[in-house]
């Protein structure tokens, strides 16, 4: 499947190309995958390969929604690559309220993709939040030595006051991404674009979610101009470079023997990674 050409500017629903590894054993599995993806609003085209056990598609949907659709067929799936556009820088942050420890009740994944010079796609799913709106920001430091309290301030290279994601670069921090909304079950699924944030500038920094809604700098007080009165940081993670489209060829992790399929069911790090039953 060829990667399409994307406009340098566009609306908030620019297509990205997503690559999944999918455990398919026969033509029947392929047919089930094709059926679940056909005529889905937000999926423009897709390619299913039994030989490579892969599904590649163009979509405007959050990756978690695609993953759920694929696994509704009974086949296991893992996101392998995320890309498209004229720029190919991709990054990911595993966020939690205990900085990746297995006992944290807030857990999620946030992905960043630079589609072009003016468009960064932010795609994520976070579970365990209180229902309602929560601020989301990129922070200056990738330091979680003291949990979410050691991240520094909002990423703000132009030394401006706090604002909202639709404000121009002179009226917001580069890390001001606005709010995400958690449903009644505490899950926030989101996908939006940002014209100020650049993925190459934030790799090694951090992203965090706050307990309150961000007022986007409209609160008419000092706190609003500093951080949007968004409250304390309740979940965070370091932003690391991730595999772009067709860049992830891993089948097994040489350091601990965990396979691609085992990995989705075990802790990301720590002693439980090797001893967990899969």
Regarding whether 211 and 110 lie in a shared domain, the answer is yes
Residue 52's domain is classified under what CATH number? Answer: 3.30.70.100
Regarding whether 132 and 77 lie in a shared domain, the answer is no
What is the pLDDT confidence band of residue 245, given thresholds at 50, 70 and 90?
Answer: low
pLDDT of 81: 82
Regarding whether 146 and 56 lie in a shared domain, the answer is no
Q: Please, what is the average pLDDT of the chain? A: 84
> Would you say residue 264 lies in a domain?
no
Q: Is residue 100 within 8 Å of residue 94, measured between CB atoms? A: yes
More confident residue, 101 or 60: 60
Q: Per residue in 203-231, pLDDT tens?
A: 999 999 999 999 999 999 999 999 999 99
> Would you say residue 39 lies in a domain?
yes
More confident residue, 278 or 128: 128
What is the pLDDT confidence band of residue 82, given thresholds at 50, 70 and 90?
Answer: confident
Q: Per residue in 119-174, pLDDT tens?
A: 999 999 999 999 999 999 999 999 999 999 999 999 999 999 999 999 999 999 99
Alpha helices by DSSP H, 192-237: 199-202, 222-227
Residue 130's domain is classified under what CATH number? Answer: 2.60.40.200
Q: Is residue 14 within 8 Å of residue 119, measured between CB atoms? A: yes
Tokens, residue 40: 């889905």
Regarding whether 135 and 55 lie in a shared domain, the answer is no
pLDDT of 265: 54
Q: Per residue in 84-128, pLDDT tens?
A: 666 668 899 999 986 544 445 899 999 999 988 889 999 999 999
Give the domain extent around 127.
Answer: 90-241
Regarding whether 119 and 20 lie in a shared domain, the answer is no
Regarding whether 190 and 60 lie in a shared domain, the answer is no
Number of domains in the chain: 2
> Would you say residue 178 lies in a domain?
yes
How far is it, in rounded angstroms, from Cα 250 to Cα 242?
13
Tell me the pairing of strands 119-127 and 132-139.
Answer: unpaired
Residue range 49-76: average pLDDT?
94
């Amino acid at each position: 499947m060829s990667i399409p050409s994307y406009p340098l500017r566009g609306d908030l629903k620019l297509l990205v190309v997503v690559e999944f590894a999918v455990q398919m054993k026969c033509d029947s599995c392929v047919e089930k995958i094709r059926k679940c993806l056909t005529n889905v609003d937000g999926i423009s085209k897709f390619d299913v390969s039994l030989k490579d056990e892969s599904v590649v598609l163009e979509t405007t949907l959050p990756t978690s929604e695609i993953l759920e659709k694929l696994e509704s067929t009974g086949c296991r799936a893992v996101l392998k690559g995320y890309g498209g556009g004229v720029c190919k820088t991709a990054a990911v942050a595993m966020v939690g309220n205990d900085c990746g420890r297995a006992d944290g009740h807030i857990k999620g994944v946030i992905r960043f993709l630079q589609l072009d010079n003016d468009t960064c796609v932010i795609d994520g799913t976070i579970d365990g939040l209180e229902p309602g709106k929560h601020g989301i920001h990129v922070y200056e430091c990738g330091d979680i030595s003291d949990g979410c309290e050691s991240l520094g301030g909002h990423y703000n290279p132009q030394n401006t006051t706090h604002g909202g994601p639709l404000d121009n670069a002179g009226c917001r921090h580069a890390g001001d991404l606005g709010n995400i909304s958690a449903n009644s079950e505490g899950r926030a699924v989101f996908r939006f674009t940002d014209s100020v944030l650049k993925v190459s500038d934030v790799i090694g920094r951090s992203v965090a979610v706050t307990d309150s809604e961000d007022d986007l700098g409209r609160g008419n007080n000092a706190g609003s101009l500093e951080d949007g009165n968004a409250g304390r940081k309740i979940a965070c993670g370091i932003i690391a470079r991730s595999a772009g489209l067709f860049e992830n060829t891993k089948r097994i992790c040489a350091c601990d023997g965990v396979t691609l399929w085992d990995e989705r069911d075990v802790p990301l790090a720590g002693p439980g990674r090797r001893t967990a039953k899969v």
